[in-house]
Structure 1
Amino acid sequence: MGDIKKNSEEAAADFETAIAECGFGLFNILMMCCAAPCLMAMVFSASAMSYVMPTAECDLQLTPFDKGLLNAVTYGGMIMGAIPWGFIADTMGRRPVLIWGGWIDGIFVLCAALCQDSTQLMVFKFLDGLIICGPFAVVVSYLAEFHGKKHRPYVMLFVGLCVSAGATCVPILAYLLLPVHILFSVGKMNFHTWQIFLLVTALPILLSGFLHIFLPESPKFLMAQGQYNKALESLQRIYAVNKRKTRDSYSVKHLTDATPDRSNAPDRPPQQRFTQAKLKFLEGVGQLRPMFSKPYLCISLQVYCLHFCQIMCVSSVRLWLPQIFATMHTFELQGINDTSMCNVLDHNSQVRSMDSESMRQECDLHMDPGIYKDNIIVAAVGVFGFLMIFPLMRIPLVANHILKVFLFVCVFLAGGLYFAKSALVTMIIASVYVTMMGVCATIIIGMSVVMFPTLMRTMVLMLIMTFGRLGSVAGNILLPVFMQISCHAPFLWLMALMSIAFIFSVFLKVDVQQPLA
């Protein structure tokens, strides 16, 4: 009897031990291949419109304010969908969100490709943002919950690389598709090249929804729900694929966790599951009271304001770069010598007042492949910059001061765009600026993990991302307003915001080497 009891205890394991026993192999590689389209789709949803507008403005008669709204509405949808999607994912599971969320979002992107006016396009891009933030957030948790402590940091690096790769793929896709002249009609609906481009951007998220049909539910989520038998089946499946052995040879026979085992309990009706999830959510909100008192109130407000200003600046520049490069390229082809930023911004403010023949010629020039090369280079420099800078983050002196140094430099880079007289100079300044700001955004997230205790960490990170998306919305709405005030106004506004972000960073005292609370 003693030997039987001993063998039973040896066969039981917690999640970390059980997932480590599965190893890393073919299943994990296939899983990352399924996740990559979803991670890239998020970038496609956020960035696609900035590449569409130089040509779509001719078909939709867009004003500068319309362009700002089209850049902003996707982020508005992401803000609205953040908390509901978190609630659904923690109640219904990761896999249903990835499957149904992927398909629903793909349908909305396809509907955006069918739109015939700017209002319809704004509605469906808002719905696109509302849905895509669910699968994107869930796929990160899903990946983490299928890997043990040994491989989890590398999986998070994979997530960052996929997002960077998506940012590079969008201008490459624009370079290949948008210069091709396409125009056909189906009934009363006219279809142009930019609509085909949007249609293609729907493919990654639709593919992601399809591929996740073949993957199991997260074993960690199943354990949290008390479904230990299903969690064990999921782990056995991973083990069998990775080790090329039968499921019965998996050494773990029982799972242990703080959550009571409800494997043999009848399934709870959806209403009961939602009620229990609601109670857990309210308990979690109650644990956030320390965030509204010292010392965390002051720190959190600094981080929110810093991230808001920083993302407002970088989004205002990044999402308008395709339009700026397109206009500069047009000037060069037309032999216009004055390619200063003032003339570029003034031209974009006056596009709608052009006659139909001038508009047609403008569209033809905007569809030249050369206008997208600068955007590809800016995105590629961003990927290269991340790979070069992040190894240096192991040095404490660099890690503790790189944020304030980069923000200080970016104050002058934002102002330096005003003095850019050619596409080449604009590309060089923008590449350095966007790369540095991207690094700063990642550092802020990393610092927040250290600064806040475990029970506050997830909610604080969610709020930081929400403030960043609010900054994206505000930036893309306000930039056209400043463009119409004067040539200097947008750049003075950007420099002021960057200066505010820098001041917040100076007073943000963080030791990245401190242990987690």
Structure 2
Amino acid sequence: MAEVEAADFETAIAECGFGLFNVFILISSVPCLTAMVFSAATLSYVMPSAECDLKLSLLDRGMLNAATYAGMIFSAIPWGFIADTMGRRVVLICGGWLDGFFVLCAAFSQDFLQLMVFKFIDGLIICGPFAVVVSYLAEFHGKKHRAYVMLFVGLSVSVGAMILPLMAYCLLPVHIFFNVGQLQFHTWQIFIAITSLPSLLSGFLHMFLPESPKFLMSQGNYNKALISLQRIYALNNRKSRDSYPVKKLTDATPDRSDVINNPNPRRSRQERYKLAKKKFCDGLMQLRPMCSSPFLGLSIQVYCLHFCQIMCVNSVRLWLPQIFATMHTFRIRGMNDTSMCAVMDHNTHGRPIDTKSMEEECDIHQDPDMYIDNIVVAAVGLAGFILIFPFLRIAIVANHILKVFLFLSTFLVGGLYFSKTTLTTLILSSIYLTMMGVCATTIISMSVVIFPTLMRTMVLLLIMTFGRLGSVVGNVLLPIFMQISCIAPFLWLCTLMTIAFTISLFLKVDVQQSLN
């Protein structure tokens, strides 16, 4: 292979090929993506058990579901700034270890307030690694594989969503109770402790991976970027690093390798302060394009779309385990009316007040059969991604699937109001959540190629922040709508889906364009 004297990023990464390194980086990303699913959805599975031990009201359950997302909202901009100025790798390593620690702290919670605080901190931390890992993966792959990599993200999230109900099925029905000093531990706390493992594993695995070469190039650190690319080439092709055909990298950013890699150790404290201040200001200047054309209008459209979409989908997804648990209770008690209206009425007005009735319902909630419906929903989501996977390589499908799925999902979420049986609810919710999962992945894939490297992670974090803000608002408003009337929450959800679909009509993006 002839040497390439000077190459841009796309040419340089294409020369590396696809091999062992790419497989390892994809495997390393799975725990991080799974950790995000666990952080967001764990409480929705433990709620039927935890509400008995913590005496949770309807509003308490909504606030707990919203706590993790609230934490994600507050930390988005700091994480984005760190990732776009200090690098992707430091966020993935430190974020993984820290998140695992605070999830373990949540497992030690003894009351509602402690659990909510630690889940808030969990969201505060996991927000960074999840958004960064998407940028990190995109920046290690060329155009040829990038669409598949972004779909791999969605597939990994679906796998995480599949693992969680399987864990719940195996563990939560087991009666565990013991004391350690003044602390009491139940089954659901052991379940939360186990969900810390993906975060800890993610922090560990990313210690063995290099910094993103695209990020290093955007910082002007061409020497380290070239070393990173040589390492990828050597692992993928089983050749020496010196045989890498690209000898020089080109980018819009001036080469600052000598300054970056050979800092002056004799700087005074005042000089170091000025340097840190300059770096901070440079980081802020990198984000200026976000506030000007063409990125401002485009980002606002994406923010609003994701806000409406995620508010709607998480209003359904996070309450679905509770809905299925209530339907299971109805079946056990021989009640024939398992319509959605009956389920919501039970959760808002008809829950048992006396201790004996509450204990009986808690025992029913711990039946393993109540988790089977959730496993089916997750399995359909996983199967859906596998079936759709090949079609996203077709440009017309990739560019229009968002509009089509949002349109169909509007009718699916409205159809839940007319559901009279558990089977109907299961079918409608499975298809709806699968389609919405594909839509969320598509929005992230579009955003990866739309925005430049030095603002990519920040924009992804802001997109996710608006989605999480939607989750917080949705989980606070849903109990209120449920108390108004049966039809109110469904009219609200259909309205949100209609707004999201309308916004999607104005988005015109080629998902197969080069990274900026």
Say yes or no: does 1:35 pair with 2:29.
yes
* Higher alpha-carbon deviation: 379-388 or 202-211: 379-388
The percentage of counterpart residues that share the same residue type is 68
* Higher alpha-carbon deviation: 186-195 or 148-157: 148-157
Match in the other structure for 1:3: none
Match in the other structure for 1:241: 235
C-alpha distance in 2 between matches for 1:328 and 1:126: 30
How many Å apart are 1:442 and its aligned residue?
Answer: 3.7
Task: Assess, with a 3 A threshold, how the Cα gap between structure 1 residues 142 and 289 changes in structure 2: closer, same or farther.
Answer: closer
Post-superposition Cα deviations, 1:435-477, rounded to whole Å, max 9, x if no partner, equal 2223333444556678889998776554433222211110011
Alignment of 1:309-388 (within 5 A): 309-350=308-349, 354-388=353-387
Tell me the SS of whatever aligns to 2:292.
helix
How many Å apart are 1:266 and its aligned residue?
Answer: 1.6
* Higher alpha-carbon deviation: 298-307 or 381-390: 298-307
Tell me the SS of whatever aligns to 1:260.
coil
CA-based RMSD of the aligned residues comes to 3.2
Structure 2, unpaired ranges of 5+: none
Tell me the SS of whatever aligns to 1:180.
coil
Alignment of 1:112-511 (within 5 A): 112-250=106-244, 252=246, 255-257=249-251, 258-263=253-258, 265-266=262-263, 271=273, 274-291=276-293, 301-350=300-349, 354-389=353-388, 391-392=390-391, 402-445=401-444, 461-505=460-504, 508=506, 510=508
Q: TM-score if structure 2 supplies the norm length?
A: 0.87
Conservation of the 8 A alpha-carbon contact between 1:341 and 1:419? yes
Post-superposition Cα deviations, 1:129-160, rounded to whole Å, max 9, x if no partner, equal 11111111222222233333433333223222
Count of residue pairs brought into register by the alignment: 506
Conservation of the 8 A alpha-carbon contact between 2:147 and 2:445? no
Structure 1, unpaired ranges of 5+: 1-6
Tell me the SS of whatever aligns to 1:37.
helix
Post-superposition Cα deviations, 1:52-94, rounded to whole Å, max 9, x if no partner, equal 1011110111111111111111111111111111111223222
Equivalent residue letter for 1:278? F
Equivalent residue letter for 2:72? M
How many Å apart are 1:376 and its aligned residue?
Answer: 1.3
Conservation of the 8 A alpha-carbon contact between 2:218 and 2:454? no
C-alpha distance in 1 between matches for 2:84 and 2:135: 11
Conservation of the 8 A alpha-carbon contact between 1:24 and 1:242? yes
Conservation of the 8 A alpha-carbon contact between 1:58 and 1:363? yes
Task: Assess, with a 3 A threshold, how the Cα gap between structure 1 residues 510 and 117 changes in structure 2: closer, same or farther.
Answer: same
How many Å apart are 1:206 and its aligned residue?
Answer: 0.2
How many Å apart are 1:405 and its aligned residue?
Answer: 4.4
C-alpha distance in 2 between matches for 1:215 and 1:18: 18
Q: TM-score if structure 1 supplies the norm length?
A: 0.87
Task: Assess, with a 3 A threshold, how the Cα gap between structure 1 residues 232 and 309 changes in structure 2: closer, same or farther.
Answer: closer
C-alpha distance in 2 between matches for 1:309 and 1:459: 20
* Higher alpha-carbon deviation: 147-156 or 201-210: 147-156
* Higher alpha-carbon deviation: 296-305 or 427-436: 296-305
Equivalent residue letter for 1:120? Q
Post-superposition Cα deviations, 1:231-270, rounded to whole Å, max 9, x if no partner, equal 4443443344333344455455555544324335326887
C-alpha distance in 1 between matches for 2:116 and 2:511: 44
Post-superposition Cα deviations, 1:172-225, rounded to whole Å, max 9, x if no partner, equal 111111111111111111111111111111001101111222223333333444
Tell me the SS of whatever aligns to 1:307.
helix
How many Å apart are 1:17 and its aligned residue?
Answer: 4.5
C-alpha distance in 2 between matches for 1:459 and 1:412: 33
C-alpha distance in 2 between matches for 1:297 and 1:21: 34
Tell me the SS of whatever aligns to 1:190.
strand
How many Å apart are 1:38 and its aligned residue?
Answer: 0.8
C-alpha distance in 1 between matches for 2:341 and 2:4: 73
Task: Assess, with a 3 A threshold, how the Cα gap between structure 1 residues 266 and 285 changes in structure 2: closer, same or farther.
Answer: closer
* Higher alpha-carbon deviation: 413-422 or 458-467: 458-467
Task: Assess, with a 3 A threshold, how the Cα gap between structure 1 residues 418 and 102 changes in structure 2: closer, same or farther.
Answer: same
C-alpha distance in 1 between matches for 2:128 and 2:248: 32
C-alpha distance in 2 between matches for 1:448 and 1:410: 22
Conservation of the 8 A alpha-carbon contact between 2:76 and 2:462? no
C-alpha distance in 2 between matches for 1:278 and 1:27: 33
